[in-house]
Amino acid sequence: MKKTLLFPLLTSIPMLMFAGGFQVNLQGNKQTGMGHLGTGLTLGASNVYFNPGSMGFLNKKFSSEIGGSFITSEVAFQDQSTGITERTNNPLGTPFYAYASYKVTDKLSAGFGIYTPFGSTVDWGKEWSGKNLVQDISLRAIFIQPTLSYKITDKIGFGAGLNIVSGSVELNRAVPTEPFDNSSVNLQGSTMAFGFNAGLYIQATEKLSLGLTYRSQVDVELKEGDATFDVNSSLANTLPNTTFDATLPLPSTLTFGIGFQINEKWLLSIEQSFVQWSAYETLDFDFANETTPDSKNARNYEDAIIIRVGAQFTASEKLDLRAGFYYDESPVQDEYFSPETPNSDNFGMTLGASFNPTERFGIDASMLYIIGKERTSSYSPDAFGGKYASRSFIPGIGINYNF
Amino acid sequence: MKKRNLLYLLPLVFAVGCEPEFDEINFNNGTADFTRTVALGNSLTAGYQGNALSRVGQENSIPEILAKQFALVGGGEFSTPLLSGEAGTKGAGVDPNLFSQGILLPSLGFVSNTDCIGTTSSGPGLSSAPYSFNLAGAIDPTGQVDASGFYNIDKTQGKYYNNVGVSGARLIHLNFPSYASANPYFGRFALGANQTMLSYAMNVNATFFTLFIGNNDVLGYATSGGDEGGDAITDAATFAALYAQTVDSLTKNGAKGAVSNIPSITSIPYFNTVPANAIPLSGPNTALLNAAYANYNALIEGYRAATVITDEEAALRTISFADGANYMLTSDPNLSALTNPTNGQPVPKLRQLKAGELVTLTLPQDSLKCAGWGTQKPVPGQFVLLKHEIENIDNAVNSYNSSIKSIADAKGLAFVDANSKLKEVQSGLKFNGTTFTTEYVRGGSFSLDGVHPTTRGYAIIANTFIEAINKAYNANVPQVNVNNYPTLF
């Protein structure tokens, strides 16, 4: 029985792109319920991710959280000249997180996190009209983060963590090989990469808290990934199976957040992130074999902002209710819009609740609905474009245990 | 087991309300009426490719592609006199000499050839053996006598097909009374020996027509090497008058339509695959050849010194080879006639090709490699287009095209600029991530005959028709995804 339950979930661990670019913002169900904000708040062990500076401000000596989300999402494309509408058939995405935070002393806290802030699974099918750009892509980045946090004063905390990143990508695309039809390539690679995050937390007054965090850019450098070509036998010599190098930058993010405890029942927060997507200039596959033409794909992303607003209502000692909204600006320019990361300006609406039956144990649930604004864009280097729009529905559940 | 299936349904439940939707695109016919359409033209209308008419070519012809798109905005049925059987699958190529013996040629395919040096490589060749058909089919009205599937049209039904594309047809042939007897591609579906292509097309009683004609009025001259071929270019004024008459007839009953200009003949792979400097030389061979032409060159120099010929002509006639790629030796009838003073014989009118001059795809490579063509012997004129011949061709195409444009404008017809589209393909036309060029075979846009488009090439032209029709008639006919059509292999 257990096996049956896990099977459909574990087979689809890769996440679906649904935040800006291929960022996945689902690192804690409490925060997700409030528009995925938490930089200026102290909501639990997930502070390891949201703001390591606030770990020392948690109530308990030990805090932990584990959870995940179930992404169902669809991107649609409409070719304006042929009128054909095509839709992705994305597998269920299941980003997950696990955090633990421990107060070693009153001042010093140590923490650990494992989470998935970047990822994308988009499956357009083998024969769709943009098959020469991408048929399907699955991109994963699992972050492991050991963290230390220090409470400088009663009101100020600072923390920093090391990001150990396990990144992998698999991409299938058709290769135009006139006069032969039906050629394709499978590109696969994985690697380790490193980065860091740091956070400053200020409990300005009893009611007002401020947070500032920075997550560094992580360059996922794939070396000797496998390129497997499926081509007509006449082309086997010019397009043999080979290896490739490619670099995918996971951009840095600077976030500023404010939390305001209006009264015992109501907590409000707003937050703004600045994501330095301009680091993503090009996605180049450099093939080891000389006769295989390198694949250079301009991306030319632009920096983008995310604005989040959220509220929490403490209904009773055992029940918290949450709601939030965010606006996540697309980093993709209209003429460089690739169906591989089909990203529009996103509007996210969230609901959430926590049920805490005992003082130690709680269940956190959230729901996120994202509208990817319709946009008419093309990837001009390949003369492919049309209208795109997306919808995502993402329920999530987690548990927390603190003592 | 059942429980597991239910689990898979879970995401579907979540997905309710998660489908992004778009506004319907308002595709419409504008002021055009596609109730009954007729396509009048030559091989490009018939769907000919790879030196033959085949079923797959016919089914993906420009008019067939257009008709399917027109049908999405209220267009009516469309029919093509399709080949069947062997003729349909292998392709039916007509070589006049073989045809009169009851033999058809299949389409070109890629076959293995061993050249005179013994090197084996793949190249264009007949995809299968020539096959026979029954000549009596030409006069059989039932379409039963010829089992090959070439003469397969049952004319007793009196049916008029909408695709009146006839391979080989020139503009003048549209109103040529006995053309059905002269051209079996028309004879196989014409209803009566004296029916003209134009009167056939008029009988369709179309509300909308496409006219794509004139290519053959200059193509035959070009592919047969220009002046040597004996296939004259239609005079520009005659062309303009005939074209206007044809359009007058087609529009007589109020039909609207689209006319296409003629893509540049000298840009097609047929003339741009074998380079004019296709002769590699090195070391002793270079020296031997230059020694062999020393006396000839001295003779030419003598005429120049005596001002019998200009410096320019002398330079042109001086034969010189160097290590590396060399321009082929050919003969040029336009050179001055000279007599050799020592023996009283005429001096051969030899010269090497110049940059910009063209060689046909059909030039036998073995003759270059092993028979001394282009070095010891001039390449026969039927395989080359000299500068003045290229000018004749380009001038004809330009003047035909300006006539077509002005007639289209005067009649308010959709004007299809196939010539500009070919230029785009020449510099690399991108479509949904595929780049089409005019490169032979690999460019993806031209079939193995180097003259006619591939199915994808035809789809590109069909989209060009749709663009022009949409513009002229304030319509929004959907285009096609070129990459959905078959490649050569």
pLDDT digits (tens, 9 = 90+) for A21-40: 667 789 999 999 999 999 99
Strand residues in A329-360 grouped as ranges (E) = 346-355
Which chain B residues are Cβ-neighbours of A129 within 8 angstroms? 432, 481, 483-484
Is residue B30 scored above 60 in pLDDT? yes
**Coil, helix or strand at residue B361:** coil
Q: Quick one: which of A170, A291, A146 has its CA closest to A222?
A: A170
Could you tell me the two tokens for A64?
Answer: 């932990």
If pLDDT is split at 50, 70 and 90, which confidence band does B8 have? low
Minimum distance, in Å, between the CA of residue A304 and any CA atom of chain B? 23
Question: How crowded is the C-beta side of A221, counted as CA atoms within 13 Å?
Answer: 6
Residues belonging to chain A? 403
Q: Quick one: which of B207, B176, B161 has its CA closest to B34?
A: B207
Put simply, whether A393 touches B (Cβ < 8 Å) is yes
Could you tell me the two tokens for B201?
Answer: 């097309």
Q: How far is CA B111 from CA A238, B153, B368, in A?
A: 20, 32, 20
Please answer yes or no on whether B489 and A383 come within 8 Å at the CB atom. no
Please answer yes or no on whether A129 and B430 come within 8 Å at the CB atom. no
Please write the tens of the pLDDT for every residue from B277-326: 999 999 889 999 999 999 999 999 999 999 999 999 999 999 999 999 99
Which chain A residues are Cβ-neighbours of B442 within 8 angstroms? 178-179
Beta bridge partners of residue B55, listed in sequence order: none
Is residue B451 scored above 60 in pLDDT? yes
Is residue A204 scored above 90 in pLDDT? yes
Is residue A15 scored above 80 in pLDDT? no
Which chain B residues are Cβ-neighbours of A391 within 8 angstroms? 17-20
Please write the tens of the pLDDT for every residue from B64-93: 999 999 999 999 999 999 999 999 999 999
CB–CB of A130/B433 below 8 Å?
yes
Whether omega before A179 lies within 30 degrees of 0, making that bond cis, reads: yes
Q: Quick one: which of A60, A61, A66, A75 has its CA closest to A46?
A: A66
**Coil, helix or strand at residue B345:** coil
B340 CB-near residues (< 8 Å, 6+ apart): B299, B346, B347
Minimum distance, in Å, between the CA of residue B271 and any CA atom of chain A? 19
Mean pLDDT on B160-184: 96
If pLDDT is split at 50, 70 and 90, which confidence band does A6 have? very low
Could you tell me the two tokens for B69?
Answer: 């798109």
Is residue A19 scored above 50 in pLDDT? no
Question: Which letter does DSSP use for residue B325 in this model?
Answer: E
Could you tell me the two tokens for A334?
Answer: 């209209």
Lowest-pLDDT range, A166-180, A253-267, B1-15?
B1-15
Give the Cα-Cα-Cα angle B191, B196, B198 (nearest 5 degrees): 110
Put simply, whether B21 touches A (Cβ < 8 Å) is yes
- Kindly state the percentage of chain A with pLDDT values over 90: 84
Sole residue written with tokens 């047969």? B224
Report the pLDDT value the prediction gives residue B17, as an integer from 0 to 100.
Answer: 55
**Coil, helix or strand at residue A43:** coil
Query: Rounded to a whole number, what is the distance in angstroms from the first to the last CA of chain A?
Result: 32
Please answer yes or no on whether A176 and B435 come within 8 Å at the CB atom. yes
Spatial separation of the C-alpha atoms in residues A116 and B116, rounded to whole Å: 65
Q: How far is CA B209 from CA B66, B164, B465, in A?
A: 11, 10, 11
Which chain B residues are Cβ-neighbours of A69 within 8 angstroms? none
Report the pLDDT value the prediction gives residue B6, as an integer from 0 to 100.
Answer: 45
Which chain B residues are Cβ-neighbours of A76 within 8 angstroms? 19-22
Cα-Cα-Cα-Cα dihedral sign, residues B52, B53, B54, B59: positive
Residue of B nearest to A232 (CA): B489
**Coil, helix or strand at residue A35:** coil
Among the partner-chain residues A80, A85, A382, the one whose CB lies closest to the CB of B430 is A382
Is residue B373 scored above 80 in pLDDT? yes
If pLDDT is split at 50, 70 and 90, which confidence band does B12 have? very low
Minimum distance, in Å, between the CA of residue B379 and any CA atom of chain A? 31
Put simply, whether B471 touches A (Cβ < 8 Å) is no
| Phi, psi of A184, rounded to the nearest 5 degrees | -155, 165
Beta bridge partners of residue A319, listed in sequence order: A355
Please answer yes or no on whether B15 and A393 come within 8 Å at the CB atom. yes
Mean pLDDT on B440-468: 97
Report the pLDDT value the prediction gives residue B283, as an integer from 0 to 100.
Answer: 86
Put simply, whether A359 touches B (Cβ < 8 Å) is no
Is residue A93 scored above 90 in pLDDT? no
DSSP states along A55-91: GGG-SSSEEEEEEEE-BEEEEEEE-TTT--EEE--PP
**Coil, helix or strand at residue B391:** helix
A94 CB-near residues (< 8 Å, 6+ apart): A9, A10, A12, A13, A15, A68, A69, A70, A71
DSSP states along A100-166: EEEESSSSEEEEEEEEEEEEEEEE--TTSTTTTT-SEEEEEEEEEEEEEEEESSSSEEEEEEEEEEE
| Neighbouring C-beta atoms of residue B165, cutoff 10 Å | 30
CB–CB of B94/B83 below 8 Å?
no
Put simply, whether B427 touches A (Cβ < 8 Å) is no
Report the pLDDT value the prediction gives residue B122, as an integer from 0 to 100.
Answer: 84
Identity of the amino acid at B93: G
Mean per-residue pLDDT of chain A: 91
Spatial separation of the C-alpha atoms in residues A46 and B303, rounded to whole Å: 97
Please answer yes or no on whether B434 and A74 come within 8 Å at the CB atom. no
Please answer yes or no on whether A76 and B3 come within 8 Å at the CB atom. no
Mean pLDDT on B40-56: 97
Put simply, whether A180 touches B (Cβ < 8 Å) is yes
Is residue B18 scored above 80 in pLDDT? no
Spatial separation of the C-alpha atoms in residues A134 and A299, rounded to whole Å: 14
Is residue B169 scored above 60 in pLDDT? yes
Put simply, whether A264 touches B (Cβ < 8 Å) is no
Query: Rounded to a whole number, what is the distance in angstroms from the first to the last CA of chain B?
Result: 45
CB–CB of B481/B432 below 8 Å?
yes
Spatial separation of the C-alpha atoms in residues B148 and B90, rounded to whole Å: 10
B26-54: buried (b, 16+ CB within 10 Å) or exposed (e) per residue? ebbbbebbbebbbbbbbbbbbbbbbbbbb
If pLDDT is split at 50, 70 and 90, which confidence band does B2 have? very low
Mean pLDDT on A5-20: 38
If pLDDT is split at 50, 70 and 90, which confidence band does B36 have? very high
Report the pLDDT value the prediction gives residue B13, as an integer from 0 to 100.
Answer: 43
If pLDDT is split at 50, 70 and 90, which confidence band does B334 have? very high
Q: Quick one: which of A22, A8, A382, A336 has its CA closest to A171?
A: A22
Minimum distance, in Å, between the CA of residue A103 and any CA atom of chain B? 39
- Kindly state the percentage of chain A with pLDDT values over 70: 95
| Phi, psi of B321, rounded to the nearest 5 degrees | -115, 150
Q: Which residue has the higher pLDDT, A315 or B8?
A: A315
Spatial separation of the C-alpha atoms in residues B419 and B25, rounded to whole Å: 30
Is residue B161 scored above 50 in pLDDT? yes
Report the pLDDT value the prediction gives residue A298, as an integer from 0 to 100.
Answer: 95
Is residue B1 scored above 50 in pLDDT? no
| Phi, psi of B275, rounded to the nearest 5 degrees | -75, 150
The runs of H, that is alpha helices, within B324-377 are 365-370
Q: How far is CA B360 from CA A289, A363, B32, B268, in A?
A: 35, 79, 41, 10
Q: Which residue has the higher pLDDT, B314 or A93?
A: B314
Mean per-residue pLDDT of chain B: 94
Could you tell me the two tokens for A174?
Answer: 């058709």
Residues belonging to chain B? 489
Put simply, whether A166 touches B (Cβ < 8 Å) is no
Question: Which letter does DSSP use for residue B337 in this model?
Answer: P
Put simply, whether B478 touches A (Cβ < 8 Å) is yes
Minimum distance, in Å, between the CA of residue A149 and any CA atom of chain B? 39
Cα-Cα-Cα-Cα dihedral sign, residues B179, B184, B185, B191: positive
Percent helix, strand, coil in chain B (nearest 5)?
40, 15, 45
Please write the tens of the pLDDT for every residue from A337-357: 999 988 899 999 999 999 999
Put simply, whether A15 touches B (Cβ < 8 Å) is no
Question: How crowded is the C-beta side of A7, counted as CA atoms within 13 Å?
Answer: 11
Spatial separation of the C-alpha atoms in residues A27 and A19, rounded to whole Å: 12
Residue of A nearest to B18 (CA): A391
Residue of A nearest to B430 (CA): A383
Please answer yes or no on whether A181 and B487 come within 8 Å at the CB atom. yes
Please answer yes or no on whether A383 and B488 come within 8 Å at the CB atom. no
Number of A/B CB contacts below 8 angstroms equals 116
